[in-house]
C-alpha cells in the first residue's frame, strides 16, 4: 500500500490552520513538512496578504521549518496580478492591508495611496490586524468615486491560539454594505492563485493541502487539483459531513502525519461503507455508526462516503451526533 503523496510531484499547502495557528505550530506539522521536503517540491499558498514572503519565511524558521521567499505564493501577489488587468501601470492604488500588500503593489509599479482624495484608480483590500474604520471608509469613498475594487481574499475567520477571529471577509463585507457592490477576488477559492502556484513550481501532478472547505478545498476543486482536508484548522468533521459536491476533498486526514500513512478509501457494503474496523450505514434516513470509534478519521471517511453517495441533502438526514460533536 502506497502513502497518500506517492502519486504527486508537487505538494501545495496552506499555512494558517495547517502549519501554524497564530504564533503556535500545529501538532505534527513541523516534522511532517521536513519529511515532505525530503521527497517533494513543497510550496505554500496562503490567503494572508499582510506580510511579505520574507516575513512569512522568518516565521516558519521560528517553528523550525525551512523555506525560501519564492516558496510562498500569497493572495497579495495574485491580487496585484489582477490589478494589472484592470488599471494602467503606474496608476494610483488605495491599499487597505499590511506592509506586505503595500510592498506587492509598489513593486508592480503602482503608486500606493491611503486616501480617496488622492484620486485612486483602484482599491485593493487585504487583511491586517490594525485595519481601522477609517481605512474601510476611505476604501468605500474611493469605490463610490469609480475606483476598481479587488479583494485579496474573503476568509470569514482567522484561526488564532485563543480561538477564531474575524477574517478579511468580514472587512470586505463592511465595505460591500457601504458601497452596494462586490469586489473581484484574487485569492482562494478563486482558481487564479492555484494556477499561479502550479506555474511557479512547474507542477505536473500537484496535490493541495488545506484546512478550510470554503476556500482551500473549493478552490482546489475549481482549479482541478486533488485536495487534502486536514482537520487541524477551521473545517472539522461537521463541515466535512455537510460538504456539497463542489466542496468535497479527495482525502481527509487528522494531521499532516497522515500524509505518510497508507491511505485507503472506504469500501461500499450493502447499506453503507467500511474501512478497517470502522463501519457506517444508512438505515432509512439515519446515518449510524455500526462499529469503530465515532471520533476516528476512518469513521469520518466512512460517514462522508455514506452521506455523499446517498443523494440526500444533509439536512434531510439524521446523522449520529457522535460523528461531529
Distance between CA 243 and CA 186 in Å, rounded?
Answer: 23
Question: Would you call 156 helix, strand, or coil by DSSP?
Answer: coil
What is residue 26's DSSP assignment? P
Distance between CA 61 and CA 66 in Å, rounded?
Answer: 6
Partners of 251 in the beta sheet? 228
What is residue 244's DSSP assignment? -
Compute the CA torsion angle 9, 6, 234, 286 (nearest 10 deg): 140
Which residues does 160 contact at the CB level (< 8 Å), separation at least 6?
21, 22
* Residue pair 42/11 in contact by the 8 Å Cβ criterion: yes
Catalytic residue numbers? 14, 16
Residue 309 grid cell: 453517495
Amino acid at each position: 500500500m502506497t502513502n497518500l503523496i506517492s502519486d504527486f510531484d508537487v505538494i501545495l499547502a496552506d499555512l494558517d490552520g495547517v502549519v501554524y495557528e497564530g504564533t503556535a505550530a500545529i501538532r505534527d506539522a513541523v516534522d511532517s513538512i521536513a519529511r515532505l521536503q525530503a521527497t517533494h517540491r513543497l510550496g505554500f499558498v496562503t490567503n494572508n496578504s499582510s506580510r511579505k514572503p520574507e516575513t512569512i519565511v522568518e516565521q516558519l524558521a521560528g517553528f523550525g521549518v525551512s523555506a525560501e521567499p519564492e516558496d510562498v505564493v500569497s493572495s497579495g501577489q495574485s491580487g496585484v496580478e489582477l490589478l494589472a488587468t484592470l488599471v494602467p501601470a503606474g496608476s494610483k492604488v488605495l491599499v487597505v492591508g499590511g506592509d506586505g500588500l503595500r510592498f506587492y503593489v509598489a513593486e508592480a509599479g503602482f503608486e500606493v495611496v491611503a486616501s480617496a482624495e488622492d484620486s485612486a484608480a483602484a482599491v485593493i483590500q487585504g487583511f491586517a490586524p490594525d485595519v481601522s474604520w477609517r481605512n474601510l471608509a476611505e476604501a468605500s469613498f474611493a469605490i463610490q468615486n469609480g475606483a476598481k475594487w479587488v479583494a485579496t481574499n474573503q476568509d470569514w475567520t482567522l484561526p488564532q491560539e485563543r480561538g477564531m477571529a474575524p477574517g478579511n471577509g468580514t472587512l470586505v463585507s463592511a465595505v460591500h454594505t457601504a458601497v452596494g457592490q462586490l469586489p473581484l477576488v484574487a485569492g482562494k477559492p478563486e482558481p487564479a492563485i492555484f494556477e499561479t502556484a502550479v506555474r511557479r513550481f512547474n507542477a505536473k501532478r500537484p496535490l493541495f493541502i488545506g484546512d478550510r472547505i470554503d476556500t482551500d478545498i473549493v478552490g482546489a476543486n475549481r482549479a482541478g487539483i486533488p485536495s487534502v482536508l486536514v482537520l487541524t484548522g477551521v473545517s472539522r468533521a461537521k463541515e466535512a459531513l455537510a460538504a456539497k459536491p463542489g466542496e468535497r476533498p479527495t482525502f481527509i486526514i487528522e494531521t499532516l502525519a497522515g500524509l505518510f500513512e497508507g491511505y485507503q478509501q472506504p469500501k461500499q457494503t450493502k447499506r453503507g461503507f467500511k474501512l478497517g474496523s470502522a463501519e457506517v450505514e444508512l438505515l432509512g434516513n439515519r446515518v449510524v455508526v455500526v462499529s469503530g470509534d465515532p471520533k476516528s478519521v476512518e469513521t469520518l471517511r466512512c460517514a462522508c462516503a455514506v452521506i455523499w453517495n446517498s443523494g440526500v441533502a444533509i439536512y434531510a438526514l439524521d446523522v449520529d451526533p457522535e460523528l461531529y460533536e
